[in-house]
Structure 1
Amino acid sequence: MSAAHWALFAGLLLITMVLLGTLLKRLPLSSAMIYLALGYGLGPGGIGVLAPDPFLLAGPLELVSETVVLISLFAVGLKLGIPLGDRRWILPGRLAVVSMSVTVALVTAVGIWGLGLSLGAAVLLGGILAPTDPVLASGVQSEAGRSPDFVGFSLAGEGALNDGSAFPFVLLGLGLLGSHDLGAGGWHWWAMDVLWATGGGLAIGALLGTLIGILVVYLRTRHQSAIGLNLFLCLGLIAISYGIAQICLASGFLAVFAAGLALQRVREHPMAGTLSLDRNRPPPPYTRDENRATHSHHASATMNLAVQGFNEQLEKLAELALVLTIGAMLPYVQWTLAIAWFVPLLFLLLRPLAIAVGMAGSIVSGYQQTMIAWFGIRGIGSVFYLMYALNHGVSGALAETLVNLTLATVAASILVHGISATPLMAWYGRHRRRLPGATGP
């Protein structure tokens, strides 16, 4: 297709999604399902104008998928208005650490005894498929606010945290295969890949998000400068958080998430003798006053709204591009019998078992636990880890097995979770007030 044809296709697709956006919210469909089908039609299984061969293009696909995950993690951080020290993070933390570790262990066992993989290959498969997705799960995650819904907040927090906490398991699998240095007795893996990567990533992101947010608000309110260019602020904070974390051998994913969370927590310090613009007014939204961006009562809220609005649109474009690519990659999958039993086993048994272990002892209703267990959506994060593995020494029959199982799992998740999200979340919305712990554990 020529550039003109691509422009026409992209324009028609974007306008169509605008026109159908409200309708899709009422139907058991998701935008990702549409992108997946279109991608398949554009790929080798259709007209063949896209050919994202995962075996030949692992490097570029790793970069693209990593960028999409970073954008989404920053968006999740901006939405969740609860500081990491709040007790409501206990359950998402347990899901992202305990449940994810149990998932890796269960997938490893299935990989060894069901798929005939070596220990390293099975651990690698578990690390690739264990994390839930912060991009494709936006329809079931929590909305912004300081009193989020319990189920939505747990899913959002889990998806944000386990993209970083899954990376050590991917590195462990690669190490057992001889493609990553684990250190004598695994000390390097424990000290650097697990402890420092997690703690350092969160600390670096939180510090940068706080400092940059305070600096921008100070300049706007005290000097009427650094106004506008919220696009640059959004992308710049993502890039600097990721870059510094990676240079320091910490988790860039967790750093970007923590930066978004910290930026959202920045608050104004109103100047003496000034009054809020909202006095004697009904509650917001009142966000378009010319001087709100520099007003000492409103600067941080205005900054956060602008950055969040831009990042959400950027996230949707990134989702479109990558899910189209995933659809175009599906013809490279060899649809074996193993896929037919492995994918249902992961969704219907392994994920619920891992959630039951991670949530053991928590005050959560059976309905809520079932919802959290079902919406363990796999997507962009798994694609990134797959491409990372292919780009770091995995090849041959193992590469084919990982591509087959990962892409099949992601495609199945997009379809089954996309179909079920609207009716299940509508049901939960009607009944959650009667469920114990609906607004907190």
Structure 2
Amino acid sequence: MLLLSFAAVLLAAVLVSALAHRTILSTAALFLLAGFVLGEGTTGVLHLRADSPIVAQLAELALFAVLFTDGMRVGWADLRSAWRLPGRALGWGLPLTLLVTAVLAHVVAGLDWPEALLVGAILAPTDPVFAAALVGNDKVPARLRHLLNVESGVNDGLALPFVVVLLAVAAGSDDLHLVDLGTELAIGLLIGVLVPLVAIALERTRWFAASAAYAPLNGVAIGLLVLALGKATHGNLFLAAFAAGITVATFGPRERAAFEHFGENVAELLKLAALLVFGALISVEFLGEISWTGWVFAVLAIVVARPIALWISFLRSGLSLREQAAAMWFGPKGFASVVYGLLVLESGIAVGDEVFHLVALTIVISILAHSSTDVVIARAFDETREVPAWHGTLRRVRRSVTGSGRRDGRAVPSPHGEPVPGDEPATDRPADPTGDQANAK
């Protein structure tokens, strides 16, 4: 039933994707809402619970794919070429967002400091998928798009060690367990670096070469080998995935280019499937279990934590106020936060259920809020938009009623400094059927 549901929702998402690209509709929100409707707590079509094996397995695989493709977006050359603004967002914005969110979780939600810091680490990463209209719109300033894209591509991996360590602290692990945790992270990092290096070096020899048809599968093979070795050696899979992606992007630009579109599509499919499953875990009863302080925390975590953190991070950065405001708002809590929340639930810590409820509520509100406002904000950056025809009619009506406006026959300028259509003075020239005069700048 899960496969049937996913296929049906995927087809619906494909059919409305063009409309979603132009409006406040969001394919990610569609999968989340579909999961909510089909979940056991609503219609009961999908019988899924947080402890169902498919939930953990799908979440693990999807996050591995997401971190691998995220790492491929941010090779060292990319980071060095334009690091100033993303560096501020990651070096200052990420830890400050973590700390402000933790303070809110402690003061508002009443969590102890270890759990509050854990919530801050889970909710610190961002996801550009839920603000795709902003990141992918060429009318938005390039430096803002680059900032959001690099930041969201890197912060999942940077937040991971904090989540793992703070989860161990919240679980009351002793020094021996912390040493084992460090070993797990080190093994994951080692696998993530060595496997791609060996694979790329082999392809550079005269004995091996990938054909055009198989070139996109090179990245898939590297990722699967990293995943398999990570499981076999008990290395940290997620850190291994992120390190492998960065290594491929840095030392294998040819492999990166061949894998890019194919890999992103695979990661997107897995992410959407996991969002459907996540939505199925949310129900009216689930939301009703959250206290009013939890709802207040979730709202403040979105509208206060990141704006404060980035406001401090971008002081004297040269970004315009509009660009800063857009960057502050578009910090959607994405798929990495979903999986990190599930990791907490599986850990068995005393307040794991409460932490998961807070994280899940924040993610749901964030997805709905950010994915429904990205198109609106992106349009605000489009300086070439035509003023609607009704705008000029309204100005003429208002001018005739109030007697305002110019009396010298010249057009009344719009707020953007251009004549408003419909306010041009009458001339003896014939109408231009091609519209070239109206479009001339």
Consecutive unaligned residues in structure 2, runs of 5 or more: 385-441
Q: Give the partner amino acid of 2:101.
A: V
Alpha-carbon contact 2:6-2:273 (below 8 Å) kept = no
Instruction: State the alpha-carbon separation in 1 of the partners of residues 173 and 27 from structure 2.
Output: 37
Alpha-carbon contact 2:344-2:356 (below 8 Å) kept = no
Q: Are 2:17 and 1:65 aligned?
A: no
Equivalent residue number for residue 13 of structure 1: 9
Equivalent residue number for residue 322 of structure 1: 274
Greater gyration radius:
2
SS at the partner of 2:266? helix
**Cα deviation, residue 415, structure 1:** 0.6
**Cα deviation, residue 113, structure 1:** 2.2
Q: Are 2:306 and 1:351 aligned?
A: yes
How do residues 116-195 of structure 1 correspond to structure 2 at under 5 angstroms?
Answer: 116-133=110-127, 136-141=130-135, 149-181=142-174, 192=182
Q: 1:215 aligns with which of 202, 207, 219?
A: 202
Instruction: State the alpha-carbon separation in 2 of the partners of residues 138 and 241 from structure 1.
Output: 29
**Cα deviation, residue 201, structure 1:** 6.6
Q: 1:40 aligns with which of 16, 28, 36?
A: 36
Matched pairs, number:
379
1:393-435 per-position Cα deviation (integer Å, ceiling 9, x unaligned): 324xx2232122111111111111010011212333548xxxx
Q: Are 2:48 and 1:52 aligned?
A: yes
Structure 1 pair 15–170 and aligned structure 2 pair: CA distance change class (3 A): closer
Instruction: State the alpha-carbon separation in 2 of the partners of residues 411 and 12 from structure 1.
Output: 22
Q: Are 2:413 and 1:419 aligned?
A: no
Q: Give the partner amino acid of 2:299.
A: P
Alpha-carbon contact 1:30-1:419 (below 8 Å) kept = yes
Alpha-carbon contact 1:107-1:126 (below 8 Å) kept = yes
How do residues 244-255 of structure 1 correspond to structure 2 at under 5 angstroms?
Answer: 252-255=237-240
**Cα deviation, residue 33, structure 1:** 1.3
Instruction: State the alpha-carbon separation in 2 of the partners of residues 197 and 95 from structure 1.
Output: 24
Q: 1:108 aligns with which of 102, 117, 137?
A: 102
Q: Give the partner amino acid of 1:16.
A: A
How do residues 230-245 of structure 1 correspond to structure 2 at under 5 angstroms?
Answer: 230=215, 232-241=217-226
Q: Are 2:228 and 1:228 aligned?
A: no
1:124-171 per-position Cα deviation (integer Å, ceiling 9, x unaligned): 211221222355454444699xxx922222222222222222233323
Alpha-carbon contact 1:104-1:126 (below 8 Å) kept = yes
Equivalent residue number for residue 408 of structure 1: 361
Instruction: State the alpha-carbon separation in 2 of the partners of residues 232 and 28 from structure 1.
Output: 35
Instruction: State the alpha-carbon separation in 1 of the partners of residues 80 and 235 from structure 2.
Output: 23
Q: Give the partner amino acid of 1:212.
A: A
1:297-349 per-position Cα deviation (integer Å, ceiling 9, x unaligned): xxx3xx54442222122122112211111211111332431233112211111
Q: Are 2:69 and 1:75 aligned?
A: yes
Give the alignment's TM-score, normalised by structure 1: 0.74
Task: Report the identity percentage.
Answer: 26
Give the alignment's TM-score, normalised by structure 2: 0.74
Structure 1 pair 404–378 and aligned structure 2 pair: CA distance change class (3 A): same
Structure 1 pair 96–245 and aligned structure 2 pair: CA distance change class (3 A): farther
